[in-house]
């Protein structure tokens, strides 16, 4: 007589595979909400970072333009003084340059010498006020023709929005080099 061979089982039984699949399904279902929330949080953080970067970049550009100017002028016809800043630059050995910084609310874009150099997008608010040499702060729409020569400082409030994130920044820059 031949000796009996002991059969070794290899692999998993069907019942074991079904139990493992069920446990994995329960774990995945339980973690789905948490993973979804983490992904949404990451997207919101990305939106907030992008909005802050846009606002900071626009603040730097507008501040640089105002500080490099020697005077503030009334905006050209068709440009609202509460949405634009007209500046006069006069550098040594360079021809004087008129610089116009304009917010286009329809596109949400801030331009330099509109539509010329693009400064920022996703800008949903942009308001300009002028500090006069007598200490008054006058909103752009309230400026009178005699006020333009007395502007000593420009204040711009801008808001950048990306997705659900919004960042607001205020620029207060003196006209001319400090």
What is the rounded distance in angstroms from the CA atom of residue 87 to the CA atom of residue 70? Answer: 8
- List the one residue out of 90, 58, 68, 59 whose CA is nearest residue 178: 68
| Total domains in the fold of the chain | 1
pLDDT in tens, 87-131: 998 878 878 888 999 999 999 999 998 557 889 999 999 999 999
Does residue 6 belong to any structural domain of this protein? Answer: no
Does residue 17 belong to any structural domain of this protein? Answer: no
For the chain, how many helices (H) and strands (E)?
Answer: 1, 9
Does residue 85 belong to any structural domain of this protein? Answer: yes
Residue 63 host element (H or E): helix 14-67
The pTM score is 0.74
Does residue 10 belong to any structural domain of this protein? Answer: no
Tokens representing 67 are: 């500080």
Does residue 127 belong to any structural domain of this protein? Answer: yes
Does residue 51 belong to any structural domain of this protein? Answer: yes
Does residue 124 belong to any structural domain of this protein? Answer: yes
Does residue 18 belong to any structural domain of this protein? Answer: no
The confidence score (pLDDT) of residue 109 equals 93
């Amino acid at each position: 007589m031949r000796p009996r061979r002991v059969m070794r089982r290899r692999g998993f039984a069907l019942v074991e595979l079904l139990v493992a699949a069920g446990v994995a399904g329960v774990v995945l279902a339980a973690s789905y909400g948490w993973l979804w929330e983490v992904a949404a949080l990451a997207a919101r953080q990305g939106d907030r970072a992008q909005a802050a970067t846009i606002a900071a970049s626009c603040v730097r550009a507008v501040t640089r333009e105002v500080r490099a100017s020697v005077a503030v002028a009334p905006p050209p016809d068709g440009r609202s003084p509460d949405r634009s800043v007209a500046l006069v630059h006069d550098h040594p050995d360079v021809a004087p340059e008129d610089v116009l910084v304009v917010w286009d609310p329809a596109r949400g874009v801030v331009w330099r010498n509109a539509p010329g150099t693009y400064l920022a997008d996703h800008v949903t608010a942009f308001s300009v006020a002028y500090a006069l040499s007598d200490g008054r702060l006058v909103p752009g729409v309230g400026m009178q023709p005699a006020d333009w020569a007395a502007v000593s400082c420009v204040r711009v409030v801008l808001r950048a929005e990306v997705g659900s994130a919004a960042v607001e920044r205020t620029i207060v820059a003196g006209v001319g080099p400090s």
